[in-house]
Structure 1
Amino acid sequence: MAGILLVSYPATEGASFDHDYYTGTHMPLVKEKWGPLGLTDAVALFPDDDAPTAVAVAVLTFTDGAARDAAISGSTAATVFGDVANFTTISPAAQRLTG
């Protein structure tokens, strides 16, 4: 069963979020660092309603929960998580799911 990491960036008044950096730099970094660890798909989604609860959501799919957990706790996690400050002032919320 696939291990999924759902990462959302809650809509926060006064916060900044650089969509171009997120899609052009951060998501490729996630794929580069976590692909070898079992990441099979990474999708960035953006709400199209007038009052979104999140400015962006990422769905990261891994081969299984063990691969997901190894990625988010392994040596490359600091690089991935450290890059967040380059595109947003929002603290992301992450949820581990099974699918």
Structure 2
Amino acid sequence: METVFVLYRSNSGDFRFDRDYFESVHLPLVRGAWARHGLVSSTAVYPTGEGDLVAVAVNEFRDRQAARDAFGSPESEEVMNDIVRYTDLTPSRLRGVSFTY
């Protein structure tokens, strides 16, 4: 399993992030675009505490090649273009291999 975390960070309190849109429109768009490439699940996480993380999208793919195929697919353009509709933050990605016990 390959996990791709999409991190939304803010260094100030002055940002826009529409959770409702992110959950009800963007994540289903992600699922629709990337399921055929091996996306298994996509989950929204909203960290609490003192850190600068506003939100994290946890995307689980069948394997590393599936993640590469999804992000390199023509459908990715629509996914990336949708970001401005719910936030003015610039997301960053973190990848890793995950194991479930």
1:31 matched residue in structure 2: 31
TM-score by length of 1: 0.93
Kindly state the Cα deviation for residue 15 of structure 1 after the two structures are TM-superposed: 1.3
Unaligned runs of at least 5 residues, structure 1 = none
1:98 matched residue in structure 2: 97
Query: How many residue pairs are counted as aligned between the two chains?
Result: 97
Kindly state the Cα deviation for residue 12 of structure 1 after the two structures are TM-superposed: 3.4
TM-score by length of 2: 0.91
2:17 matched residue in structure 1: 17
Cα-to-partner distance string for 1:22-47 (whole Å, 9 max, x where unaligned): 01100010011111110001110001
RMSD of the TM alignment (CA)? Answer: 0.9
Unaligned runs of at least 5 residues, structure 2 = none
- Map 1:20-99 → 2, pairs under 5 A: 20-49=20-49, 51-99=50-98
Question: Identity over aligned residues, as a percent?
Answer: 30
- What secondary structure sits across from 2:40 in the alignment? strand
- What secondary structure sits across from 1:8 in the alignment? strand
